[in-house]
Structure 1
Amino acid sequence: MLEHTAPGHARLSGRLDMHSIAQMVQPLVALARQEDLELDLSAISEADSAAVALLLQAKRASLASGHRLTLTGWPASLLTLAQLYALDDVLTAPIGT
């Protein structure tokens, strides 16, 4: 689930897999394009490679719009997936203005 918690802040929670992220892609990309965004990942209970793809898409959208996307509260399982695909540096780096 994606929750816009405050201006510039949002949270992903629950299970993030190829079935659940479909409803999150457009809203998350829209948030990343609108403003600098700090996205809290600490409430994610399960994640698969689709979650990594979702985060990459949001990161690309923020960069293309000149905004910063900061990902915080990485669950160990999601960070392990990002490391497996050698994307942890890309996703954890402060990209943007």
Structure 2
Amino acid sequence: MLVLPAELTHRQATACLHMLLQGLKAHREPGVVVDAHALAVYDTSALAVLLECRREAIDEGKTFAVQGLPPSLRSLAGLYGVGLLLTPVA
């Protein structure tokens, strides 16, 4: 499981994406889950990071899901039309 930090804004986006992509490459399971429970401070950059991570996972033939996405960020993803791309883990 990959874990998001407590803060993910434009300022942290590049470093966070780099960290997630390194974790993704080391991840040997067929499905990738990103845990967003700790995420407390964020902006739309968090969505961009998650979507890029999803793209990389799919390019590697893996499934991708996010769990614990804050409700307001999930709402924003829906508003932008990408909510279904960040489906929660059941």
Residues 67 and 88 of structure 2 are in contact (CA less than 8 Å); yes or no, is this contact kept in structure 1? no
2:7 aligned residue: 15
* Runs of 4+ with >4 A deviation: none
Note closer, same or farther for the CA distance 1:76–1:93 as it changes in structure 2 (3 Å cut).
closer
Secondary structure of 1:38's aligned partner: strand
2:71 aligned residue: 76
Two-structure CA RMSD over aligned residues (Å): 1.8
Q: Distance in 1 between matches of 2:9 and 2:35?
A: 17
**Quick check: which one's strand share is greater?**
1
TM-score normalised by L of structure 1: 0.78
2:86 aligned residue: 91
With a CA cutoff of 8 Å and minimum separation of 6, indicate the structure with the bigger relative contact order: 2
More deviation in 75-84 or 33-42?
Answer: 33-42
How far 1:13 moved relative to its partner? 2.4
TM-score normalised by L of structure 2: 0.83
Q: Distance in 1 between matches of 2:64 and 2:77?
A: 16
Secondary structure of 1:69's aligned partner: strand
1:58 aligned residue: 53
Unaligned runs of 5+ in 2: none
Q: Distance in 2 between matches of 1:56 and 1:34?
A: 19
- Opposite residue 67 of structure 1, the aligned amino acid is K
- Opposite residue 29 of structure 1, the aligned amino acid is L
**Quick check: which one's helix share is greater?**
2
- Opposite residue 76 of structure 1, the aligned amino acid is P
1:16-55 CA deviation, whole Å, 9 max, x = no partner? 1100122111221232344332111111002211000000
Aligned residues: 86
